[in-house]
Chains A and B, each alone.
Chain A
């Protein structure tokens, strides 16, 4: 018996040694269309790099975030490449958890990255993650409904114009709602929209001394406007609507205007899924009295954890997945409309892409307009846009989001929601040592 065990052990060690020749990269990623497409193109990478194998771990966004955070914070070394958002990159880079990407190769062309995105994933001028696709937020509206209601939505609308158009487009007898906005509580759900909206009304989360600003008139104006508009022209039960719920409503022709991430444009114009594919018009994120279009900017990026033992192979992969050649590869296999958007200037200059994606021009404008180092008109101690780039924001944003979601549902008033938000944010920021 003992001999057999010994033999088995020896055989498995031998097997492991022979496997060790081909390096296997484990890549953690989210289940979004562009990522799934990348996974399907694995073969192209392994053909070019026969000594590197790829293992994919696809997870739901929240699970992925929890999973990779545990792993990177404990240096668990389970992943060689991680898909992370623009929220994590600066925080993790400052912790020393990410490797700076300095070996991406000559073809990578860093200068071609959109400046706003490049800034968002760099710390002290060094790139810590490579953007895979990026997005801002914009207005999507039904051209046919606008025409029927006799309204025009300018390319740079104000919130008042949006409200006016939404009210006129609403026809509750046919279940057509003038406006669909996120209401589901969560730092990445309603708080993304509401923080951007607040920015466009001139509000800010904190003043220069990290004092929460929910007791200021700008926040009251922004939140009152949102709640009133949604009550008058929004769908029933909006406080549980997130990106996907609104997408479903818009695609089935139940929304006049939807203001959300630019990536939505490729879904609503896809004739296979959308009933309104040929009727969508676009405009920039509205302004509310100050020159600020919300500063919504998000990108999913590929980063390499400092704990990996396969840094060189990992950089090769990151370079393959995010350079210009990858865009062309996707275009040749799946058409220009399906290439990952929002990371490279060259893509928006490409006439074929412009033809395939009618939303390209506004997307580019929205992305270039976003400035994450100056999210709002008043001075702030933080960077970000539709979020505040501090580690506490996930918890804070969700807690405040629950208050605002309750205000939308009508279970608390706007004033009560703002008071609770002010109180809980002050408490957390004091606990976190920001408020001395």
Chain B
């Protein structure tokens, strides 16, 4: 009896799980399908699900109008660059807070997070002026710097929670054996925190990849990443859903593939320390 209830519950939860999964995935699927429709079919009511004349015209149009490769390169450089720079800055900070906490550690962490609470547009003009004077407008370097600063609080917070799970005694033992601070962080702490660091890195690459305020406002022709590529396919006068969907599909494809391959790492990292 008990056994049959378990199977039933399992079945129900499986169905619920799959339904929620499908619900979350549906917009992406719909975008993907729309990218193969003509503009007319894309807005047709009732919407057509699978049985329409599939066409690659939108992809052809997007390819001929934009330099996709350049935008992808910019996106990769900016997201990976800002994440790596962020990690270099955040690992020592998180180490200090996790293993030598003071009574103000929690306040500092909160203060760091509070910088995320300000609406970005509030600092647009001052930052724009600084960028103009330093010649950083429309440069990858400038965007790497800005995105590093924006995501730094999240990187520090994530690393801090992972480091907290690592017993301080192991680091102490290393110190007893004469490891310098640098060696302690590089050879003892980092290898143990790899799953945490990896998931922090993946999550931040995704965040930087999708960032669409600064990447649009601080770039023009040279450093514009995929967000600008997508933004160029929406039109106030004229139908654009199919072409926009094609551009969106192309823009999310690389990060989707990356996420697919690294999902084990991502999930492991995000649940790291949850089960003891």
Contact = CB atoms under 8 A, between A and B. Distances in A.
A39 B128 contact: no
B228 interface: yes
B64 to A, nearest CB: 8
A60 B232 contact: yes
Nearest to B224: A57
Interface stretch (A24-32, A217-225, A354-362): A24-32
A79 B240 contact: no
B232 A58 contact: yes
A261 interface: yes
Contact of A78 (B125, B220, B234, B236): B220
Chain A: interface size category: 35 or more
Interface stretch (A69-77, A136-144, A386-394): A69-77
B221 interface: yes
Nearest to B43: A248
Contacts, number: 95
B236 A70 contact: no
Interface in A8-59: 26, 28, 30-33, 36, 39-40, 55-59
Contacts of B149: none
Interface string B65-85: 100000000000000000000
Nearest to A78: B220
Interface string B37-53: 00110011100000000
Interface string A245-277: 001100110000000010110010000010000
A67 interface: yes
B258 interface: no
B115 interface: no
B272 interface: no
A375 B132 CA distance: 40
A243 B137 contact: no
A248 B236 contact: no
A159 B160 CA distance: 67
Interface in A105-130: none
B234 A60 contact: yes
B100 interface: no
Given A76-B137, A251-B40, A57 B236 contact: no
Interface residues of B, number: 30
B128 A76 contact: yes
Interface string B122-151: 001100110010000110000000000000
Nearest to A29: B232
B177 interface: no
B238 interface: yes
Interface in A300-319: none
A79 B238 CA distance: 25
Contact of A39 (B65, B125, B129, B236): B65
Contact of A59 (B45, B128, B138, B228): B228
B40 A273 contact: yes
Nearest to A79: B220
B95 interface: no
Interface string B7-46: 0000000000000000000000000000000011001110
A173 interface: no
Nearest to B229: A58
Contact of A33 (B217, B231, B238): B238
B132 A76 contact: yes
Interface of A: 26, 28, 30-33, 36, 39-40, 55-61, 63, 66-67, 70-71, 73-79, 188, 243-244, 247-248, 251-252, 261, 263-264, 267, 273
Given A32-B235, A55-B221, A244-B239, 11 more contacts: A26-B220, A55-B220, A59-B228, A63-B231, A66-B217, A71-B128, A244-B235, A244-B238, A247-B238, A247-B239, A261-B237
Which 5 A/B pairs are nearest by Cβ-Cβ distance?
A58-B232, A55-B221, A60-B234, A248-B43, A78-B220
